[in-house]
């Protein structure tokens, strides 16, 4: 073989090799996976979804046939049918039965035994409000930071009446008398004027000594049946007055005479409460008498050495 022949053959082998590589490269490109056909898949998916939505809408329409009258169908933004029930249904049964809210427990002072102990048009609510104001006045004015005379719900109102002003305490107002038994016997007389508490008189413990009788007029009750000593003989008339005191259980009747008039007292849980209207000037204190169940006189203030019989 000549050199020319060798060169020709070598060239032919290279050409053949190059062609073979080209063919292999083309085959490799041909077997590479094609891109995923997303548009076609999306179109098929949407078509299937529409078929499913149509089936759901059909089921909803079937359900409407059994829905209560007043139910209605809404088309949502996505085209799906939605069934809505009316706000109230006569056949609806609540899942829970609401328990009634318990009413608040009563608070404040107890009422008097008789409505006749609330005088001059004063209501119990007004008297109770007056007592609350007097107790607050006591706490703030005389015992800062303390409990003072205690809360109003420990008391019972036994008397409320108009107060006539005098030279010592000008201006008319109102008296509210309240008592409590625990933790110790306490009696207070509240003075109110123009809706404000202006004074409070308090007695603590039982009046009288060990020899006290079955009826004991209150030792500080004079403020209820007299005007200022500065005005003796010149009181403003007519004058609403009151008288209070304690009684034993054996006493079933008490009378009080004042200014020539005699009246029956109310008995209220161990207290007697009397009132009237004075139309004449007087210098004698009210006369108090007590009787037992048999009508026997068991007490007469005229025979009581500890009772002040003159004003």
Least confident range from 5-19, 21-35, 45-59, 77-91: namely 77-91
| Overall average pLDDT of the 193-204 stretch | 93
Asked, for residue 110, whether it belongs to a domain, the answer is no
For all residues of the chain together, what is the average pLDDT?
A: 76
Instruction: Give residue 107's pLDDT band: very low, low, confident or very high (50, 70, 90).
Output: confident
CA distance 163 to 161: 6
Percent of residues, the chain, with pLDDT higher than 90: 53
Per-residue confidence (pLDDT) for residue 212, from 0 to 100: 84
Per-residue confidence (pLDDT) for residue 15, from 0 to 100: 61
145: alpha, beta or left? (left if phi > 0; alpha if psi -120 to 50): left
Instruction: List the beta strands (DSSP E) in 93-185.
Output: 156-163, 173-180
Instruction: Give residue 206's pLDDT band: very low, low, confident or very high (50, 70, 90).
Output: confident
Strands 271-278 and 266-268: antiparallel
Asked, for residue 165, whether it belongs to a domain, the answer is yes
Instruction: Give residue 201's pLDDT band: very low, low, confident or very high (50, 70, 90).
Output: very high
Per-residue confidence (pLDDT) for residue 35, from 0 to 100: 46
CA distance 71 to 65: 10
What are 213-237's pLDDT values in tens digits?
A: 999 999 999 999 999 888 888 999 9
Domain total in the chain: 1
Per-residue confidence (pLDDT) for residue 23, from 0 to 100: 52
Both tokens of 77, joined, read: 């933004």
Instruction: Give residue 293's pLDDT band: very low, low, confident or very high (50, 70, 90).
Output: very high
What are 9-34's pLDDT values in tens digits?
A: 555 566 666 665 655 544 444 444 44
CA distance 157 to 102: 27
Asked, for residue 76, whether it belongs to a domain, the answer is no
Per-residue confidence (pLDDT) for residue 283, from 0 to 100: 93
Least confident range from 72-76, 92-96, 135-139: namely 92-96
C-alpha count within 13 angstroms, C-beta hemisphere, residue 147: 4
Per-residue confidence (pLDDT) for residue 168, from 0 to 100: 85
Instruction: Give residue 250's pLDDT band: very low, low, confident or very high (50, 70, 90).
Output: very high
Least confident range from 64-78, 131-145, 157-171, 188-202: namely 64-78
Both tokens of 283, joined, read: 């210098």
Torsion of CA 220, 224, 227, 233, to 10 degrees: -100
Both tokens of 186, joined, read: 């306490």
Q: Is the pLDDT of residue 46 over 50?
A: no
Instruction: Give residue 261's pLDDT band: very low, low, confident or very high (50, 70, 90).
Output: very high
Least confident range from 89-93, 174-178, 199-203, 256-260: namely 89-93
Asked, for residue 32, whether it belongs to a domain, the answer is no
What residue numbers bound the domain in which 255 lies?
Answer: 122-301
Per-residue confidence (pLDDT) for residue 169, from 0 to 100: 85
Asked, for residue 35, whether it belongs to a domain, the answer is no
C-alpha count within 13 angstroms, C-beta hemisphere, residue 57: 13
Asked, for residue 193, whether it belongs to a domain, the answer is yes
| CA 291-295-296 angle, 5° bins | 65
DSSP string, 197-224: EEEEEEEES-SS-TT--SEEE-TTTHHH
Asked, for residue 83, whether it belongs to a domain, the answer is no
CA distance 149 to 58: 79
Could you check whether the bond before residue 278 is cis, i.e. omega within 30 degrees of 0?
no
């Amino acid at each position: 073989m000549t050199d020319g022949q060798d060169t020709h053959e070598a060239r032919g082998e290279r050409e053949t090799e190059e062609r073979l590589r080209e063919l292999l490269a083309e085959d490799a490109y041909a077997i590479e996976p094609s891109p995923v056909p997303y548009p076609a898949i999306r179109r098929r998916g949407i078509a299937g979804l529409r078929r499913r939505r149509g089936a759901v809408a059909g089921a909803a329409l079937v359900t409407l046939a059994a829905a209560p009258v007043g139910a209605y169908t809404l088309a949502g933004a996505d085209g799906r049918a939605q069934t809505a029930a009316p706000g109230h249904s006569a056949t609806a049964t609540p899942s829970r039965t609401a328990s009634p809210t318990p009413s608040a427990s009563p608070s404040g002072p107890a009422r008097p035994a008789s409505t006749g102990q609330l005088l001059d048009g004063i209501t119990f609510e007004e008297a109770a409000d007056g007592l609350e104001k007097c107790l607050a006045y006591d706490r703030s004015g005389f015992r800062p930071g303390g409990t003072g005379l205690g809360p109003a719900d420990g008391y019972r109102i036994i008397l409320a009446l108009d107060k006539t002003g005098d030279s010592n305490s000008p201006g008319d107002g109102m008296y509210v008398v309240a008592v409590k038994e625990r933790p110790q016997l306490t009696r207070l007389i509240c003075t109110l004027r123009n809706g404000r508490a202006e004074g409070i008189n308090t007695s603590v413990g039982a009046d009288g000594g060990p020899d006290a009788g079955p009826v004991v007029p209150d030792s500080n009750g004079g403020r209820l049946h007299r005007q200022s000593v500065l005005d003796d003989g010149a009181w403003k008339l007519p004058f609403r007055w009151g008288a209070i005191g304690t009684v034993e259980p054996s006493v079933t009747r008490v009378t009080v005479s004042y200014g020539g008039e005699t009246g029956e007292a109310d008995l209220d849980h161990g207290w007697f409460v009397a009132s009237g209207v004075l139309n004449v000037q007087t210098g004698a204190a009210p006369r108090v008498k007590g009787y037992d169940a048999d009508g026997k006189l068991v007490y007469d203030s005229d025979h009581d050495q500890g009772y002040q019989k003159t004003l």
